[in-house]
Amino acid sequence: MNQLARRVGVGALVLGLAASILTVPALRAQAPGDLQAAVDAAYAKYKGLQEGKNADYIPALAKVDPNLFGIAVVTADGKVYAAGDVKTEVSIQSISKVFTMAQVIQEQGLESVEKRIGVDATGMRFNSITAVEGVRTVAGAGAPEMNPLVNPGAISATSMVKGATADEVWTKIIGFHNDAAGRSLSVLQDVYKSESDTNQRNQAIGALMLAYGYIKDNWQQAVDLYTRQCSIGVNARDLATMAATLAFAGKNPVTGTQVMDAVKVPGVLAVMATAGLYDDSGKWLYHTGLPAKSGVGGGIIAVSPGKFGIAVISPPLDDAGNSVRAQKAIADISEALGGNPYAAKAR
């Protein structure tokens, strides 16, 4: 090979390498058009799906339009890719558990939640009293099975948010949700009233948590604030932004606000992966690999760390309590975007 040919060869190699580095996609469907196409395709595919049923144990939830269907994806640059109704609000319900847990972790460290509440799966329903009670000896020894995403752990987490008065605690809880969503959210009063009138089971859980020392005082305040946080109104765009805040190391990519310390986010995601979709958490993780959280209001958020936050709202739920359309739409879109964090590319 003469000098020139060698130079051309090396140059081509360098160019080729540079090109391949530049084209390694952060997302498999990296062009905005592809991303929007994935969102549109899932919307079109599942819009007509008539499976599942609105939750009705909180009477106000039964009245929500079952046809409501909205999808939003938020990427690192704060762009929002949406389809369907991303403006209508539903109550956030259990998805709020993620952000109150995150707030306690932010304020008091990862250990606080691990030690006081625990981070293991319970293998039981989200509002199980057996999970709290079953492992106790007559003398009252033995730790309840719980984590911050089931009601006993979530109500305890709410009780851990520091503040001299209920108002002070609430301002912090709603403030954290606002920062993650990037706008000022408010409580859906009809849902709050409906749940307050019918939440005797959660009151029983709150009282037990006080009896066993997981709530230090005023369990009624903890249950009331928990009920209020579950009644916060959110649309699909809000939820996707909240998911994206967790996807991008605690920084809201739309507003640029650092909502929580980056080092604390993986702990939050781990609990979501363990217990985010009720009794189907393992199945969900098996298929998607995505830390996620659903709520009985019909929302699901899911996080592909470093890639995107996604949320879907559609009220009809399956037997496990997870939105039918939301699970399917998120799984499809994530698949199209290469969102599964366990799926390294073969080299």
CB of 117 to ligand GLU, least distance (A): 16
CB of 281 to ligand GLU, least distance (A): 12
Nearer to ligand GLU, 253 or 299 (CB): 299
Burial of 25 (C-beta count, 10 Å sphere; 0-12/13-18/19+) = middle
Q: Which of 94, 128, 322, 327 binds ligand GLU (CB under 6 A)?
A: 94
Residue 110 binding ligand GLU, by CB under 6 A: no
Residue 52 binding ligand GLU, by CB under 6 A: no
Q: Which of 151, 304, 322, 334 binds ligand GLU (CB under 6 A)?
A: 151
3 state SS for the chain:
CCHHHHHHHHHHHHHHHHHHHHHCCCCCCCCHHHHHHHHHHHHHHHCCCCCCECCCCCHHHHCCCCCCCEEEEEECCCCEEEEECCCCCEECCCHHHHHHHHHHHHHHCHHHHHHHCCCCCCCCCCCCCHHHHCCCCCCCCCCCCCCCCCHHHHHHHHHHCCCCCHHHHHHHHHHHHHHHHCCCCCECHHHHHHHHHHCHHHHHHHHHHHHCCCCCCCHHHHHHHHHHHHCEEECHHHHHHHHHHHHCCCECCCCCCECCCHHHHHHHHHHHHHHCCHHHHHHHHHHHCCCEEECCCCEEEEEECCCEEEEEECCCECCCCCEHHHHHHHHHHHHHHCCCCCCCCCC
Q: Which of 43, 46, 81, 126 binds ligand GLU (CB under 6 A)?
A: 126
CB of 285 to ligand GLU, least distance (A): 18
Query: How many residues form the binding site for ligand GLU (CB under 6 A)?
Result: 10
CB of 112 to ligand GLU, least distance (A): 22
CB of 323 to ligand GLU, least distance (A): 11
CB of 266 to ligand GLU, least distance (A): 23
Residue 158 binding ligand GLU, by CB under 6 A: no
Residue 127 binding ligand GLU, by CB under 6 A: yes
Nearer to ligand GLU, 158 or 245 (CB): 158
Nearer to ligand GLU, 38 or 90 (CB): 90
Q: Which of 54, 68, 75, 93 binds ligand GLU (CB under 6 A)?
A: 93
Residue 202 binding ligand GLU, by CB under 6 A: yes
CB of 197 to ligand GLU, least distance (A): 13
CB of 191 to ligand GLU, least distance (A): 9
Nearer to ligand GLU, 58 or 336 (CB): 58
CA-to-CA distance for 141 and 130, rounded, in angstroms? 15
Nearer to ligand GLU, 83 or 313 (CB): 313
Residue 230 binding ligand GLU, by CB under 6 A: yes
Residue 128 binding ligand GLU, by CB under 6 A: no
Residue 339 binding ligand GLU, by CB under 6 A: no
Q: Using an 8 Å Cβ cutoff, are 241 and 75 in contact?
A: no
Residue 295 binding ligand GLU, by CB under 6 A: yes
Nearer to ligand GLU, 70 or 315 (CB): 315
Angle, in degrees to the nearest 10, between helices 95-108 and 166-181: 110
187: alpha, beta or left, given left = phi > 0 and alpha = psi -120 to 50?
A: beta
CB of 68 to ligand GLU, least distance (A): 16
CA-to-CA distance for 153 and 132, rounded, in angstroms? 10
Q: Which residues of the shown chain bind ligand GLU in the complex (CB under 6 A)?
A: 93-94, 126-127, 151, 195, 202, 230, 295-296
